[in-house]
Structure 1
Amino acid sequence: MSTIDERPDFSTIADLFLLHGSLQSPAFLDGRLCAGLALNDLAAGDWLEAVCLDLGVEQPRDRDSAEALLAWRRQALEALADSALNYEPLLPDELYSLAERARGLRDWTLGFLEVVEEAGEAPRQGWSAPLREALEDLSVLATMETDLEESPENENDLFALAEHARMAAMLLYTEQHPGRPQVEASEPTRH
């Protein structure tokens, strides 16, 4: 059984994309992956097919590439379903400029929201007010300015925005999968 700590980092997946001739951001597909796992229980074969389609290839170039892409899905699912609530979007890390990290967060948000929109109105019927509000906030985040100057304030703001996206993703997953993960409610439900 793999552990969540083994989850590939942004650079590893970006290198895998380059190996397939794609300059696409892994963050965008990770956003799609997260929402797909939450809303559609995205199967491994469907994920592999979707990634290949986005990369413009018929299939992964080799067995190791296929295994890495499937591990990415499996580890994202494990993190979303884990009671420790430690899912992290696949975003550029501190080795990248603040502007690149902001673009990564925007790309992740666009991918995530694209799948939420594709799901239509049916799943929204049972969503809580906090989830609806979090998704509205993500819509604003999808249009954020990404040409950020390097500064401690911008760094802190970007961290807070990434944390908001992370929480929205986990909230969507937990509402779509009651009891998985099993977590205590932090406040009573208001009616």
Structure 2
Amino acid sequence: MSLIDERQDFSDIADVFLLHGSMQSPAFLDGRLCALLALRDVDAQTWLEEVCVSLGVEQPHDPASAERLLGWRRQTLEALSASDLNYAPLLPDELFSLAEQAQGLKEWTLGFMEVVDEVADEAQRERWSQTLREAVDDLAGLGQIETDIDDSSENENDLFALTEHARMAAMMLYTEQHPGQPQVEQTDTPVH
């Protein structure tokens, strides 16, 4: 099985960053990636160049690293365009403290909003649905969240809700910029 066949998580990409001598979190770049795919359809080569610039290297360390970084883009695009709406931001998981998870969400949001602010002019934003405009405006506030939090069930629930909001805003942005993708199946059959 090749690297592209397996689902990559936060730690997989963080390991590639470490291999390149970078301690930065992949969350910021994942936010940028999501917004770029929604607003500009960033191609594989451009994405690889952006990651390399961010890591301070001219090119990926080895072919396996390049494949992981390209797989990250592919995986994100597939999730954003899938009909099952299963996109999830690349964030620290339950192996990390809530403070680390909150910091990851904050960084993801900052990356996402950086691209939205760079790319989406006022005319484009005017064409967005009211729901999307409100969701993106709310996301801008997430970049200010307090990340020095205790591991408590209340904080965990709050962080889950904020992450879910970011996830839904990202999917909404992609869907509105790519009408007809995903093809959400409508069914007339009532659920029992």
Query: 2:114 and 2:185 mapped to 1: Cα distance?
Result: 30
Q: TM-score, normalised by structure 2?
A: 0.92
Q: Please tell me whether the aligned partners of residues 31 and 89 of structure 1 are also in contact (alpha carbons under 8 angstroms).
A: yes
Query: 1:131 and 1:76 mapped to 2: Cα distance?
Result: 20
Query: 1:38 and 1:12 mapped to 2: Cα distance?
Result: 23
Query: 2:124 and 2:49 mapped to 1: Cα distance?
Result: 24
Moved over 2 A (4+): 4-7, 120-123
1:179 is matched by which residue type in structure 2?
Answer: G
2:66 is matched by which residue type in structure 1?
Answer: A
Aligned twin of 1:128: 129
Query: 2:138 and 2:185 mapped to 1: Cα distance?
Result: 24
Report the count of equivalent residues: 185
Aligned twin of 2:190: none
Provide Cα deviations, 1:40-95, integer angstroms capped at 9, x if missing partner.
00100000000000000000010000000000000100000000000000000000
* Superposed displacement of residue 116, structure 1: 0.2
Query: 1:134 and 1:147 mapped to 2: Cα distance?
Result: 24
Query: 2:165 and 2:9 mapped to 1: Cα distance?
Result: 20
Counterparts of 1:25-104 in structure 2 under 5 Å? 25-104=25-104
Aligned twin of 2:17: 17
Q: Does 1:179 align with 2:180?
A: yes
Q: Please tell me whether the aligned partners of residues 7 and 76 of structure 1 are also in contact (alpha carbons under 8 angstroms).
A: no
Aligned twin of 2:189: none
RMSD: 1.9
1:144 is matched by which residue type in structure 2?
Answer: I
Gapped regions of structure 2 (runs ≥ 5) = 187-192
* Superposed displacement of residue 182, structure 1: 1.2
Q: TM-score, normalised by structure 1?
A: 0.93
State the percentage of identical aligned residues. Answer: 72
Q: Please tell me whether the aligned partners of residues 79 and 85 of structure 1 are also in contact (alpha carbons under 8 angstroms).
A: yes
Query: 2:145 and 2:56 mapped to 1: Cα distance?
Result: 28
Aligned twin of 1:189: none
* Superposed displacement of residue 122, structure 1: 3.9
Query: 2:143 and 2:24 mapped to 1: Cα distance?
Result: 17
2:63 is matched by which residue type in structure 1?
Answer: R
Provide Cα deviations, 1:23-55, integer angstroms capped at 9, x if missing partner.
111000000000000000010000000000000
Query: 1:6 and 1:61 mapped to 2: Cα distance?
Result: 20
Query: 1:63 and 1:55 mapped to 2: Cα distance?
Result: 16
Gapped regions of structure 1 (runs ≥ 5) = 186-191
